[in-house]
Homo-oligomer: A and B are copies of this chain.
Amino acid sequence: MSFFRPNRYPGKLIAIEGIDGAGKSTQLRLLAHWLRSLDASVVEFEWRGFPVDEPFTPTSLALQHCDSFMRCLDRVKPALKNGSIVCADEYALAGMTRDLVRGMSRRWAQNLYAQAFKPAVTIYLRLPVEIAMRRLKPISPLMAGMDLGLSLIPEESFRLFQGRLASEYEAMAREHNFQIIDATAAIRDQQLQIREIVKRIIPTQRKQARAAAAASIH
């Protein structure tokens, strides 16, 4: 079940989700490296670092994030058409969870992202908020969701904000068929699990992938 649009292109979309500090970028970098070693064409979905007009309301932030998201999606369409693997360090659900946590209605936020292509797989890096916080210090205002006014203390705000994001992700896990990875495990172990998951969605390269699975992780 998913409200996303089916991806009718030959290319595959791989989404990695998780709270800040879960290790998404690290795992994605390793995954892309491995996929490229298998001669796969890999393209990154570069959604991070969007500009936000200040001061913003939750609605305005939601609309601007979605605009930025849809522009990224437009940019990777040619890659999907030519059969590439598009790796997204946060995809539509990341935008949605943030909108929900900022008080937007579920129906509204789902509709906003309804034009997003359904990913071939969504890998969810599950990490307790306390561990994420230790990894990320010092905490940036955006990661702490300081605009929500949950607390004036960044650490406390981070705990509450990222905790809510985590709850939203957990609630979505079944609907979007999350492949859950324990993000407290060693980076190498997580990566091996991720590669096993990804191998299933690149069937034409399965044999090649299996052969390389034993290869060292760079």
Contact = CB atoms under 8 A, between A and B. Distances in A.
A74 interface: yes
Chain B CB within 10 Å, residue with most, of A63, A112, A114: A63
A37 interface: no
Contacts of A108: 111, 114-115
A210 interface: no
Nearest to A51: B53
Nearest to A71: B60
A70 B56 CA distance: 11
Interface in A41-59: 57, 59
A42 to B, nearest CB: 24
A64 interface: yes
A66 interface: yes
A70 B66 contact: no
Interface in A65-105: 66-67, 70-71, 74
Contacts of A67: 59-60, 63-64, 67
A106 to B, nearest CB: 11
Chain A interface size range: 10 to 19
Contacts of A114: 108
A63 B70 CA distance: 10
Contacts of A74: 57
A161 B57 CA distance: 32
Contacts of A63: 63-64, 66-67, 70
Contact of A111 (B57, B64, B111): B111
A8 B127 CA distance: 42
Interface string A108-151: 10011011000000000000000000000000000000000000
A107 interface: yes
13 contacts: A57-B70, A57-B71, A57-B74, A59-B115, A60-B70, A63-B66, A63-B67, A64-B67, A67-B67, A108-B114, A111-B111, A111-B112, A112-B112
Given A59-B67, A108-B114, A112-B112, 19 more contacts: A57-B70, A57-B71, A57-B74, A59-B70, A59-B115, A60-B67, A60-B71, A63-B63, A63-B64, A63-B66, A63-B67, A63-B70, A64-B67, A67-B67, A107-B111, A108-B111, A108-B115, A111-B111, A111-B112
